[in-house]
């Protein structure tokens, strides 16, 4: 498999990992919030917004990279 074929697969797996980490962090955020640390939970949600903002661009880029020429 040429190296150029590996890049889309690699980026897809990185994207999957990023979304899995986002979900796990959100679960921890809810746990922290339930224990009275609303400020910490809000800070984490703010940081997670970056993932949400970039997700659509990542998906579009992967679609372009993985599309047959």
By the 8 A CB rule, do 16 and 62 touch?
Answer: no
Instruction: Tell me how far CA of residue 49 lies from CA of 7, 43, 55, in angstroms.
Output: 26, 10, 10
Q: pLDDT class for 5, splitting at 50, 70, 90? A: confident
Cα(43)–Cα(15) distance, rounded to whole angstroms? 23
Q: What percentage of the chain reaches a pLDDT higher than 90?
A: 51
All structural domains of the chain with their residue ranges: 3-66
pLDDT digits (tens, 9 = 90+) for 15-46: 899 999 999 999 999 999 999 999 999 999 99
- Residue that the structure tokens 């998906």 belong to: 59
| Region at 5 (left for phi over 0; alpha for psi -120 to 50; beta for the rest) | alpha
| Predicted local distance difference test score (pLDDT) of residue 48 | 92
């Amino acid at each position: 498999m040429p190296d150029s074929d590996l890049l889309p697969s690699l980026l897809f797996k990185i994207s999957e990992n990023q979304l899995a980490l986002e979900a796990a962090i959100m679960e921890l955020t809810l746990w922290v919030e339930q224990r009275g640390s609303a400020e910490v939970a809000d800070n984490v949600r703010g940081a997670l917004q970056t993932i949400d903002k970039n997700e659509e661009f990542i998906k579009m880029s992967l679609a372009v990279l993985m599309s047959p020429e």
